[in-house]
A and B are shown apart, each in its own frame.
Chain A
Amino acid sequence: MNQHLEIRNFLIQALEANSEEKSIQWLKQKAQKIQESNSSTPLFLAFSQASRFFSKDLLILSEQEKIQVDQLVSAFEPAHWNRLQAARSFLLLNLPQEKESWFSAMNQLFETADMHEQHALFAALPILPFQEDLLTRAIDGCRTNMTLIFDAVALNNPYPASYFPEANWNQLVLKAVFMQRPLYRIQGLEERRNSALAEIASDFAHERWAAGRNVMPELWRLVAPFMNDQYLADLEKVLNSTDDLELAGGVLTLYESDFAPAKALLADYPDLLAQVESGQITWQKIGKEYQDSRV
């Protein structure tokens, strides 16, 4: 069985456990129509009308389903999806995979999509056929100012880390910082850290400080592997903060760095260091708490 067929089956099964019988019947009927039609119209209509049959409540997956889907597409996380976008993604996977007509239909969908339709389209990137040819589209998606759509590309989506060239990747991460989005939800963040991004992050912090504003603590995660005297001076400033989260982020950055002076500075924060070592301070916890209490 090919991968798209397996994902399609996974989505419909997940939806069956989460939706009304008549909605599932409607969905299956439309899928059949999309498969059999020579025109894109059945897809366009069903893609819009799905909002009449599926809610924007979270798609609830069992632990076993989460493991199963991760084996299908590595790092694909539909547990963050809502039912409507799962239904829309299911419809997309029924479109016959003739490259030319497939792109013509998909371009029309992207160009005429409303906010929630765009949300579904961008989040579905990692499961779409011909996904390598959707790079320009994905980069364009990051130019949005609608948080919902930016999140669809940037958060819990393996696509950018797999496909974005470094410059676009760095823009995505910086924009996430700028929009105060949770960095820990960007997949591949750690692996795709780079020295240019560390420099951008430090420059960004200086700009904010010049404006008398603070910087999100998750930012320093980008700097950790590239620690030098300049970044260490930034960290010293962070560690002078009275904000618990900034302190936690600062100490975790020092801890992750191999730079000897950074290690030396760590000695001044024994309590926080102990919390890092015991797993009480992690980037995920910092990011979560920042979102809950500071944004």
Chain B
Amino acid sequence: MAKYIDPHIHLVSRTTDDYEAMQKAGIVATIEPAFWLGQPRTEVGSFKDYFSTLVGWERFRASQFGIVHYCTMGLNSKEANNIALAEQVMELLPLYVGKEGVVAIGEIGYDDQTEAEDRFYREQLELAKDVDLPVLIHTPHRDKKKGTYRSMDVAEEHGMDPGWVIVDHNNEETVKEVLDRGYWAGFTIYPHTKMGSERMVEIVKQYGPERIIVNSAADWGISDPLAVPKTADLMRKMGIPEEHVELVTYRNALTAFSLSGQMDENDWLSAPPIDQTKKLGGNSVLRGGQVPRVEGPSDRVEN
């Protein structure tokens, strides 16, 4: 069965049904970029607990469904505009960027392209260089083309190697420049807006599979946690060769984010089989009386 990586998905907002469906569809690893939560945070402690969740509870939760969970750490561009709070978050970040499974600084970049966003984007590029992590750039939804180019200009101004930068949320208008300049180009497949799977197929046909990475960015909005495997299926149906499908839905993400030294194919290839009884002890995601899922032969747990 084909294996997939969803290198951009906000799992704290997803249900256990999603996790089960993702695992069944072949997703073996996910990357959860630190982002905003819809409701703006007003205290630095909210960031602290959110960051801790990304490296703690959510990673544990994912493991119960046979999915290896990584994350990126960063101050998102929207909340960078609350300068007093943003300064405190910047002090907090060094505590998290060195933790296991943190594969990049991100998602950072521009939203409204304000001065404050620019300041904290630059500070975080410097942080990434300090700790030898790749960067995941969130490109703005409004004034996208200029915002994307500006993100790359500033990254280069700070001496970032484009091979260490994943520029996300691309479309037909931005992809050429991003690839030409040597960056990784992320594409988010949304069910109704932005990129649909059909458009994605056309882009891969036109530009080839190199340095292109597909993701779902599924979060608390209308979005599809199966976008990566569904897009892969459509690519196959439209005649895109299997090795190209593999590159854009698995291998490229692995190559880019494993620059961090924190992501290794063996993390899932040699992982022990899922056993909810062992790991959960019957009371974290399983409720009383539910029969845990066990791969391979094992007695039914009665207790």
- Which A residues fall within an 8 A CB radius of B? 41, 44-45, 48-49, 51-52, 108, 111-118, 145-148, 150, 178-181, 208, 211, 213-216, 293-295
Least CB distance from A115 to B in Å reads 5
> Is B271 interfacial (CB-CB < 8 Å)?
no
| A226 vs B302: C-alpha distance when bound (angstroms) | 26
In the complex, are the beta carbons of B60 and A146 less than 8 A apart?
yes
Note all chain A residues with C-beta closer than 8 A to B238.
Answer: none
Given the known A-B contacts A114-B56, A115-B59, are A150 and B281 also in contact in the complex, defined by CB atoms under 8 Å?
A: yes
In the complex, are the beta carbons of A147 and B280 less than 8 A apart?
yes
| A145 vs B281: C-alpha distance when bound (angstroms) | 8
> Is B261 interfacial (CB-CB < 8 Å)?
yes
| A148 vs B63: C-alpha distance when bound (angstroms) | 12
Given the known A-B contacts A146-B284, A179-B282, A214-B302, are A295 and B99 also in contact in the complex, defined by CB atoms under 8 Å?
A: no
The one of B52, B261, B299 that contacts A112, using a Cβ cutoff of 8 Å: B52
Note all chain B residues with C-beta closer than 8 A to A115.
Answer: 55-56, 59-60
Least CB distance from B103 to A in Å reads 13
The one of B48, B261, B280, B289 that contacts A52, using a Cβ cutoff of 8 Å: B261
In the complex, are the beta carbons of A114 and B278 less than 8 A apart?
no
> Is B288 interfacial (CB-CB < 8 Å)?
yes
Instruction: Using A213-B302, A295-B301 as known contacts, list a sample of 9 further A-B pairs with CB atoms less than 8 Å apart, ordered by residue number in A.
Output: A108-B95, A112-B92, A115-B56, A116-B100, A145-B280, A145-B284, A179-B280, A181-B281, A211-B288
Given the known A-B contacts A49-B98, A117-B99, A147-B280, are A293 and B55 also in contact in the complex, defined by CB atoms under 8 Å?
A: no
The one of A116, A147, A213 that contacts B281, using a Cβ cutoff of 8 Å: A147
| A150 vs B279: C-alpha distance when bound (angstroms) | 11
In the complex, are the beta carbons of A178 and B261 less than 8 A apart?
no
In the complex, are the beta carbons of A114 and B100 less than 8 A apart?
yes
Note all chain B residues with C-beta closer than 8 A to A294.
Answer: 299, 301-303
> Is B268 interfacial (CB-CB < 8 Å)?
no
CB nearest neighbor in B for A48: B98
CB nearest neighbor in B for A40: B95
In the complex, are the beta carbons of A295 and B283 less than 8 A apart?
no
| A295 vs B301: C-alpha distance when bound (angstroms) | 6
In the complex, are the beta carbons of B99 and A45 less than 8 A apart?
no
CB nearest neighbor in A for B275: A295
Note all chain B residues with C-beta closer than 8 A to A145.
Answer: 280, 283-284
Note all chain A residues with C-beta closer than 8 A to B101.
Answer: 114
> Is B96 interfacial (CB-CB < 8 Å)?
yes
Note all chain B residues with C-beta closer than 8 A to A113.
Answer: 52, 56
Note all chain B residues with C-beta closer than 8 A to A215.
Answer: 303
> Is B94 interfacial (CB-CB < 8 Å)?
yes
Note all chain B residues with C-beta closer than 8 A to A111.
Answer: 48, 52
Given the known A-B contacts A112-B48, A215-B303, A295-B301, are A180 and B98 also in contact in the complex, defined by CB atoms under 8 Å?
A: no
| A111 vs B53: C-alpha distance when bound (angstroms) | 11
> Is B51 interfacial (CB-CB < 8 Å)?
yes
Given the known A-B contacts A108-B95, A213-B303, are A114 and B55 also in contact in the complex, defined by CB atoms under 8 Å?
A: yes
| A114 vs B51: C-alpha distance when bound (angstroms) | 9
Note all chain A residues with C-beta closer than 8 A to B220.
Answer: none
> Is B149 interfacial (CB-CB < 8 Å)?
no
> Is B277 interfacial (CB-CB < 8 Å)?
yes
| A48 vs B101: C-alpha distance when bound (angstroms) | 11
CB nearest neighbor in A for B288: A211
> Is B207 interfacial (CB-CB < 8 Å)?
no
Least CB distance from B229 to A in Å reads 27
From 147 to 178 in chain B, residues with beta carbon under 8 angstroms from any chain A beta carbon are none
From 268 to 303 in chain B, residues with beta carbon under 8 angstroms from any chain A beta carbon are 277-284, 288-289, 299, 301-303
Q: List 12 A-B contacts (CB under 8 A).
A: A48-B95, A49-B98, A111-B52, A112-B52, A113-B56, A115-B55, A117-B99, A147-B284, A180-B277, A208-B303, A213-B303, A294-B302
Least CB distance from B115 to A in Å reads 29
| A172 vs B54: C-alpha distance when bound (angstroms) | 27
In the complex, are the beta carbons of B56 and A45 less than 8 A apart?
no
From 17 to 62 in chain B, residues with beta carbon under 8 angstroms from any chain A beta carbon are 48, 51-52, 55-57, 59-60
| A260 vs B299: C-alpha distance when bound (angstroms) | 37
Least CB distance from B192 to A in Å reads 36
In the complex, are the beta carbons of B99 and A114 less than 8 A apart?
yes
In the complex, are the beta carbons of A45 and B59 less than 8 A apart?
no
Given the known A-B contacts A44-B94, A112-B48, A215-B303, are A295 and B278 also in contact in the complex, defined by CB atoms under 8 Å?
A: yes
Note all chain A residues with C-beta closer than 8 A to B283.
Answer: 145, 178-179
Note all chain A residues with C-beta closer than 8 A to B281.
Answer: 147, 150, 178-181
Note all chain A residues with C-beta closer than 8 A to B56.
Answer: 113-115, 118, 146
Note all chain A residues with C-beta closer than 8 A to B288.
Answer: 211
In the complex, are the beta carbons of B303 and A214 less than 8 A apart?
yes
Least CB distance from A277 to B in Å reads 28
Note all chain B residues with C-beta closer than 8 A to A114.
Answer: 52, 55-56, 59, 99-101
Least CB distance from A65 to B in Å reads 28
CB nearest neighbor in B for A294: B299
Note all chain B residues with C-beta closer than 8 A to A293.
Answer: 299
| A180 vs B100: C-alpha distance when bound (angstroms) | 28
The one of A41, A112, A180 that contacts B303, using a Cβ cutoff of 8 Å: A180
Note all chain A residues with C-beta closer than 8 A to B95.
Answer: 44, 48, 108, 112
In the complex, are the beta carbons of A45 and B282 less than 8 A apart?
no
